[in-house]
Chains A and B, each alone.
Chain A
Amino acid sequence: MRKLYVHQLPIRIWHWINAIGCVLLVLTGIQIRYVGLIDVLPFRTAVIYHDWIGAIIVGNFFVWLLSYMFSVRIRVYHPELDPIELFRGCVRQAIYYSYGIFKGAPNPFHLSRTRKFNPLQSLTYQIVMLLLLPIQCFTGILLWDLSRFSRVVDMLGGVRVVDTVHVGIFIIFVFYIPFHAYLGTLGRTPLEHYKAMFTGYEEVPEDQEAEKSA
């Protein structure tokens, strides 16, 4: 076993703020949308929390964006530039999760300093971080002060459209977050990846290291 430093400190801080923030946004979001059905927080309080947490997540998103833009790390998201190869990788990874894993087959993906994510991860994270989260932040900002942004909102087709997009992505997150948390437990031990997300070090078997340097 060898320790490989893969998660830099800023990224770890960003990740946990983002994780806690998104979960809280989903929870306050559910409260805001389902007053009467769920009454944990008063509506007004939920709105105020949701607004503040949202602001933090927006800021946090830019921290992430900048830290990746000004470092080579962005490459970890698309080390495979050939879409066909990426697609193959994804299929391989999906087959592993839905079949191989039950048979005790080895994970087709091997972590390395430049390959932090398996193809499936890399694809989902790109969709989440470069598409869903930015749109969610944008629509969230619009909904935060509709009268101030009324021109943009009208241009987009009205508050209903903006809100429906916001709720649509919220629904995707509701689906995605538990999935993401569960996939995180599929390391060699259930807590391995979680620990790594705190310490920064992932454990890599020696033989795989050798494979990589070969």
Chain B
Amino acid sequence: MAGQSTAGQHRHSSFTSTIATVVLALAFCAGFAASAPPPGDQQCLACHQSEALVKPLADGDSLSLHISGGEFAKSVHSAFGCKSCHRDIDPARHPASASIASKRDFSIERAKVCSGCHSEQYHQWERGVHAALVRAGNPVAPLCTSCHSPHAVMRGAAQAMDTVPCQTCHGAIFTAYASSIHGVLRAGGVTQAPLCFACHGAHDVKVASAGEGLRDACLSCHSEAIARHQTWLPNTTLHFQMISCPVCHAPKAQRTVDLVLYDSTSQADASMPMGVPEFENRSGANASGLGSAALFELLRKLNGSGASSKTSIRGHLDVRTGVEAHQLVPASMAISDCNTCHKTGADAFQSVTVSVAGPGGIPIRYDVNKNVLNSAFSIESISGFYAIGATRITLLDVLLILALLGGFGIPALHLIVRWLSKQPAKRDDNEQRQG
């Protein structure tokens, strides 16, 4: 390099400066985990290591100001120092006792700082259901810092089975997951088996039952599944459209028909109506539930004059609870007997709900009288849902019996009358002809 021309020299210096930038950036990113934290941090920690440091809040609660220096030193952000996230703190004037309304307000305000370096995750989170819940005022829906403790973000912690953040709030689901086929494999070290975020996403978490539900997530790993089912399941695509995977793969679960309002014009699930009187003053525990006339009436209102699109009701077969959706068993134990669903009184059709979007788009399910599936009204109101054998219209069964009686009974009667009225002379005539 030394023997190079001046022009080369020039190039050389710009080259080193580029290298320097890259190294700096890499070091920044790598987090200098081993090196000592920036000196300012020791200053902050001098006071904030104390466990006694507590700040009373406006709402009567109190905020612990204790920060564990040891943990922070091990975390991915330690190299950046306290100031990288607490830029607003001016050591010269700190502590200034500014009032903080509540823990939640403080957290929501502070978590915005993450977006400065992780804008991608932040935007994903903003589009997800959790952020929608936060905006709707849900007091526990997770912010960045609910899932990633800001002073102790450890590398890989969010992806590990025993530290996955979801379990702190969705404990029951986690327990169900842990004993499912995927959970057992994951605990056994099979990292290809999905943990929560592989199906739901970590940041852009969607309402689980929205649209096609999680079918596409399943199929992204089990790409051969459609072909495999087609070998024995007639109309596989239709089944996959109408039935969520856990219905067959969590055989112990209580199955249920969830009626979804469907926009026939755009061929997508319709946004669900808020404040429709049919749904007001009804609790999920209502014993008999909405009747077929009420559903009919609801649709009539939605499609009344001025409606820009045609709304119909589609049924979807699902499992009753979120916990049951995670009790997946090995394929050999999945439901393969068609009769489980295709007969009268099949358990799947004993419980019927209709979903309406609540805060954050999370569906609130209202019980519907199960007889709506067999009512003649359903031709109009639940025109988009029919399961052979199980949701027969009772009226048609009656007509069939009449047809059987008529079809065989009338000829039989006719035959008898003919036989009785046959004159001897006519009989002779017949015999002659046959001879």
**A interface residue numbers (CB < 8 A to B):** 32-37, 42-44, 47-48, 51, 97, 101-104, 145-147, 154, 157-161, 163-164, 167-168, 170-172, 174-179, 181-183, 188-189
Contact = CB atoms under 8 A, between A and B. Distances in A.
Contacts of B426: 104
30 contacts: A32-B388, A34-B344, A34-B389, A35-B338, A35-B343, A37-B344, A42-B338, A43-B339, A44-B234, A44-B338, A51-B234, A97-B414, A102-B417, A102-B421, A104-B423, A146-B238, A147-B237, A154-B264, A158-B384, A159-B384, A160-B378, A160-B383, A160-B385, A168-B396, A176-B407, A179-B407, A183-B411, A188-B433, A189-B433, A189-B434
A101 B342 CA distance: 46
Given A104-B423, A174-B407, A161 B389 contact: no
B383 A36 contact: no
A161 B379 contact: yes
B383 A158 contact: yes
B24 interface: no
A200 to B, nearest CB: 21
Chain B CB count within 10 A is highest, among A145, A167, A178, for A178
Nearest to B236: A147
Interface string B362-386: 0000000000000000110011111
A48 B392 contact: no
Contacts of A47: 234, 338
Given A102-B418, A174-B407, A175-B407, A48 B342 contact: no
Interface stretch (B112-120, B148-156, B325-333, B398-406): B398-406
B415 interface: yes
Nearest to B310: A154
A172 B403 contact: yes
Nearest to B425: A104
Given A174-B404, A175-B403, A182-B411, A147 B343 contact: no
A160 B407 CA distance: 26
Nearest to B338: A43
Nearest to A183: B411
A127 B5 CA distance: 100
Given A35-B339, A163-B386, A189-B434, 10 more contacts: A35-B342, A36-B339, A36-B345, A43-B339, A97-B414, A147-B235, A147-B241, A160-B384, A170-B400, A176-B407
Interface of B: 232, 234-235, 237-238, 241, 264, 267, 312, 338-339, 342-345, 378-379, 382-386, 388-389, 392-393, 396, 399-400, 403-404, 406-408, 410-411, 414-415, 417-418, 421-423, 426, 430, 433-434
Ordered nearest first, which 3 A-B pairs have the shortest CB separation? Answer: A158-B383, A182-B411, A36-B343
Contact of B379 (A44, A145, A164, A171): A164
The prevalent SS among residues of B at the interface is helix
A34 B388 CA distance: 9
A182 B403 contact: no
Contact of A160 (B232, B237, B386): B386
A167 B396 contact: yes
A43 B423 contact: no
A103 B422 CA distance: 8
Main secondary structure of the interface of A (DSSP, over half): helix
B383 A32 contact: no
Nearest to A35: B343
Contacts of A158: 312, 383-384
Contact of B385 (A32, A51, A147, A159): A159
Nearest to B393: A164
Contacts of B383: 157-161
B410 A179 contact: yes
B424 to A, nearest CB: 11
Contacts of A160: 378-379, 382-386
A174 B403 contact: yes
A179 B400 CA distance: 15
A189 B435 CA distance: 11
Contacts of B396: 164, 167-168, 171
Contacts of A34: 344, 389
Contacts of B422: 104
A63 to B, nearest CB: 27
B407 A101 contact: no
B385 A48 contact: no
Contacts of A163: 386
A103 B342 CA distance: 51
A154 B309 CA distance: 13
Contacts of B403: 171-172, 174-175
Contacts of B235: 145-147
Nearest to A30: B400
B399 A178 contact: no
B31 to A, nearest CB: 51
Nearest to B423: A104
Contacts of A171: 396, 399-400, 403
Contacts of B234: 44, 47-48, 51
A159 B404 contact: no
Nearest to A181: B411
A34 B404 CA distance: 15
B415 A182 contact: yes
A32 B344 CA distance: 11
A146 B338 CA distance: 18
A178 B344 CA distance: 27
A147 B232 CA distance: 17
Contacts of A164: 379, 393, 396
B238 A147 contact: yes
A177 B389 contact: no
A196 to B, nearest CB: 15
